[in-house]
Chains A and B, each alone.
Chain A
Amino acid sequence: MIIKGKVWLFGDDVDTDQIYPGKYLPLTDKGEMATHAMEGADNGEDFIKHVKKGDIIVVGKNFGCGSSREHATVAIKGIGVSVVIAKSFARIFHRNAVNTGLPILELGQVEKIKKGDVLEVNIENGEIKNITQNKGYKAKPVSSLEMEIMKAGGLLQYLKQGIR
């Protein structure tokens, strides 16, 4: 799966309250959830106003720390983000992303990527081309078990198909 999109940058340790503020937790409509993606983060409002379908979020370490709210991955996916690239992810966010089919990749050299860069990302093998800077990076490939789940369309589809 190859994805091409423009980069939005956020920092280290962006927690789930920044990704999806607690006051919207009672919402159950996915479309409504999406309109609050990244609302609590620095530049969150700018992001919500101007993000386009297919855009890419690039962040530092421990992205998605905090609560177990899946609203976080659902909102990011819902607003049209095609992949999140981080130095590292918090465990629950990582799981939620795999289980809901939001592509994620771990990349050591995230700091090389600038806001507005256009990237071409191969989710399967982790190859990332920075078209703007004419550079290439290699992210850690996703485990085969996780790839199977993502390919099935998420955990529930995977389980329903009786693969497990």
Chain B
Amino acid sequence: MKTIIEKIFSRGAGKDVKPGDYVWVNLDLVAMRDFGGPNVIQEYESMFGEHPVFNKERVAITFDLHVPARNEKVAINQRLLRDFTARQGVRLFDINTGIGQHILLESGLVKPWDIIVGTDSHMNLLSAAGAAGFGMGTTDIAGAMYKGKLWFHVPKTIKIIIKGKLQKFVTAKDVILYILKYLKTDGALNRAIEFSGETIEKMNLSERITMTSMVTEMSGDIGFIQPNQEVIAFIKSRTEEKVETITSDPDAVYEKVHEFSVDSLKPQIACPHSPDNVKEVTEVSGTEVNQVFIGSCTNGRLEDLKSAAEILKGKIIKRGLRLIIVPATMEVAKLALKAGLYEIFLSSGAVVTNPGCALCTTGHPGILAPGEVMVSTSNRNFIGKLGKGAQVYLASPATAAATALTGVITDPREV
């Protein structure tokens, strides 16, 4: 009678665990990135010197935040990581690859049951593939790299059932924003979530990633979706290792169960300065916008770009507005190129930059001037995250694209 997280931790700990336990578990993969990574290396080497990492096949470094290096300090940090890779022989995904978690997924390094830790707070989106991903600080990651194990506090699980058929231009992003409106930013504090129900079962991998990535915004440890055949097929196509699916037991114990019906759900938008400050798009439509960003680990996959392209096709963005589109990975970029999306984006007046995290956070070209307004498909709109005094709204790629055409916040069903 275990939930998914209880099963995964029981396997990782080699004994039966229950919520509330503190346990040591074995790790399947340890990841770090260009931000945070350099601190990990410094910690690691100052404590353990040249000591080899626990398993070089199971340590991955990804470059996604400040790519290509935007100043000398970043260049030095990236150099430090490349040198470490050369010394230790761990895996490196350089600036021409994309957002770390997506790269790990695409490279076959993630499968159901895996326990994976990394330096990004949105590692938990790996649960879209049935794996347990956790974002952690530098000390944790340095320790993980040394020992291949870490301590965990086993969380209780909340179940969220979602029923109904989504209307056209209403997406997984609208669903998760709607849930955030009710659960709030601490609604899943120190908890795991399991999403289920007919709406979820039908979601493709990209939609599952959108859902699970934003569990971080509810302060949840992780949010699982039981992999369907499509997800399992995706994983199997990329790894030689055995892929076993994962489900919770029918009599698993949940702390709470929430049910949402989404048949009549309308496009949602999170207003400044909190991801749970959610309204219907129509409640704020007409708000003037200076910039639109489509991308991030939450909404940067091919299906997200296609959804934006459907709206932008044959049209030109509002004069004076900046539209910045960033594919999550190079694989996504190549597929978008093949599908003709670059033609649509570039003709519409958008700027398309290289794969990476881009305008999810400061540090990337494109931040805002004080008082400017941006609609973003990313996952956070904390105050100051994209420039002092900037106003950030979070929405789906469809809402973002519709807004880019009109220059004011716009319901995608109206263009």
Contact = CB atoms under 8 A, between A and B. Distances in A.
A90 B137 CA distance: 13
A105 to B, nearest CB: 16
Contacts of A160: 47-48, 146
Interface stretch (A1-9, A48-56, A66-74, A128-136): A66-74
A151 interface: no
Nearest to A99: B139
Contacts of A143: 22, 153
A69 B221 CA distance: 16
B329 to A, nearest CB: 21
Interface string A14-27: 01011001110110
Interface in A23-82: 23, 25-26, 28, 40, 61-62, 65-71, 73
B385 A22 contact: yes
A23 B35 CA distance: 12
Interface in B214-267: 219, 221
A156 B142 contact: yes
A95 interface: yes
Contact of A154 (B121, B139, B189): B139
B39 interface: yes
Contacts of A149: 151
Contacts of B120: 68
A117 interface: no
A17 B146 CA distance: 29
Nearest to B46: A156
Contact of B135 (A13, A17, A68, A159): A68
B74 A70 contact: no
A155 B185 contact: no
Interface string A112-153: 000000000000000000000000000000011110010000
Interface string A69-104: 111010000000000000010111001100110000
A68 B382 contact: no
Most central of B77, B185, B380 by chain A CB within 10 Å:
B185
B193 to A, nearest CB: 13
Contacts of B362: 22-23
A67 B143 contact: no
Interface residues of A, number: 42
A88 B219 CA distance: 11
B143 A156 contact: yes
B149 A156 contact: no
B140 A99 contact: yes
A26 B384 contact: no
Interface residues of B, number: 45
A92 B117 CA distance: 12
Contacts of A99: 137, 139-140, 143
Contacts of A95: 136-137, 140
A17 B185 contact: no
A160 B385 CA distance: 37
Given A28-B38, A28-B42, A17 B186 contact: no
B106 to A, nearest CB: 22
A145 B222 CA distance: 22
B137 A70 contact: yes
B22 A146 contact: yes
A164 B24 contact: yes
A32 to B, nearest CB: 12
Contact of A61 (B35, B142, B186, B363): B186
A62 B188 CA distance: 11
A69 B121 CA distance: 8
Given A91-B221, A92-B135, A99-B139, A68 B121 contact: yes
Interface string B179-204: 00000011001100000000000000
Interface in B35-50: 35-36, 38-39, 42-43, 47-48
Given A91-B190, A156-B43, A160-B48, A67 B139 contact: no
B240 to A, nearest CB: 31
A157 B219 CA distance: 29
Interface string B63-76: 00010000101100
Contacts of A159: 143, 146-147
A131 B73 CA distance: 46
B119 interface: yes
Nearest to B38: A28
Given A95-B137, A100-B139, A146-B151, 4 more contacts: A23-B362, A26-B363, A99-B139, A145-B151
Interface of A: 13, 15, 17-18, 21-23, 25-26, 28, 40, 61-62, 65-71, 73, 88, 90-92, 95-96, 99-100, 143-146, 149, 154-160, 164
Nearest 5 A/B pairs, CB to CB:
A70-B137, A96-B137, A99-B139, A68-B135, A145-B22
9 contacts: A18-B383, A40-B384, A62-B186, A92-B136, A96-B136, A96-B137, A145-B22, A149-B151, A156-B143
